[in-house]
Amino acid sequence: MISPTVSPDFSNLLSTIDAKNLLHRLNELQSQKTNPTEHSINLEEDASLKKLSLQWQYLANNYLIHSAKEIIEPIKVCEFIQNSLTDLNLQNELSFESIERALTDWLIDLFNHLFISKQVILVRSTGEPEYFPAQSNQPARIEFAHGFFASALHEISHFCMAGERRRQLPDFGYWYAPDGRSAAQQQAFERVEVKPQAIECLFTLACGRPFQVSQDNLFADFDTSGSTFAQDVYQQVQTYITKPDTLPSDAKTLLQALLTICAVS
């Protein structure tokens, strides 16, 4: 009989105070950077980031309204903010689906702005996720599954974990065993997923969304009750929060931007 693994509560990992403290530490780390190609997070000096911040405020507030299923008119915005929303192609009557799609478009724009010097773009896919390395004059592509916001964060996390060598390989050089894998394959899967999913968790919480680990084993025919995967991810998130200098460089950049725009501003 397969026993479900009880997942720890990830929602308590990043309180408002924790988010502010983490952002403060990331800002300190940024001030110590010497690499001119790394993006600096400053809403006052970066007009594109300022615009993205205004877009997020509008979309996130309407997202919360729809999530709570409250009958409230969509939030009215002044002309200045309205001008920043023209790129989002929102319908006049906002639906949960249109807001979710717009939030995903927003994430694509944010990532592509932050990492323009890395020669990589985030791309919505209609199928399964896949990473394509840069070729000739074409940038690398991170394609995330079915246009889902959560999938985008997951694939970005793998990009952040991959070093320069792996970024030159399709799918970062990983061989993927589909759901239905053996116990040994599942253990190998979980070992390599701890840090990427911990980074994904931080991105997700910074966006004010709930996070759940993905063991990707719905059709496992072995007992999974002994797995410590969720606890391992939880502990790794705690480590990253207390020691943000141990985060990969690109993860620091995106997390700093998400905390600045989504959690603290």
Q: What is the pLDDT along the chain (265 residues), one digit of tens a residue?
A: 233 446 799 999 999 999 999 999 999 999 887 665 567 788 889 999 999 999 999 888 887 766 655 433 444 444 444 454 556 555 455 677 888 899 999 999 999 999 999 999 999 998 889 999 999 899 999 999 988 999 999 999 999 999 999 999 999 988 766 656 677 777 777 888 999 999 999 999 999 999 999 876 655 555 566 788 999 999 999 999 999 999 999 999 999 999 999 987 6
Q: Can you tell me whether residue 233 is helix, strand or coil?
A: helix
Amino acid at 166: R
Tokens of 96: 């949960």
Separation CA 26–CA 29 (nearest Å)? 5
Separation CA 206–CA 175 (nearest Å)? 30
Q: Can you tell me whether residue 116 is helix, strand or coil?
A: helix
H or E segment and range at residue 203: helix 183-206
CA nearest to 48, candidates 215, 263, 264, 261: 261
Provide the terminal-to-terminal Cα distance of the chain, rounded to the nearest Å: 48
Contacts of 126 (CB under 8 A, 6+ apart): 146, 147
CA nearest to 232, candidates 265, 186, 195: 195
170: left (phi over 0), alpha (psi -120 to 50) or beta: beta
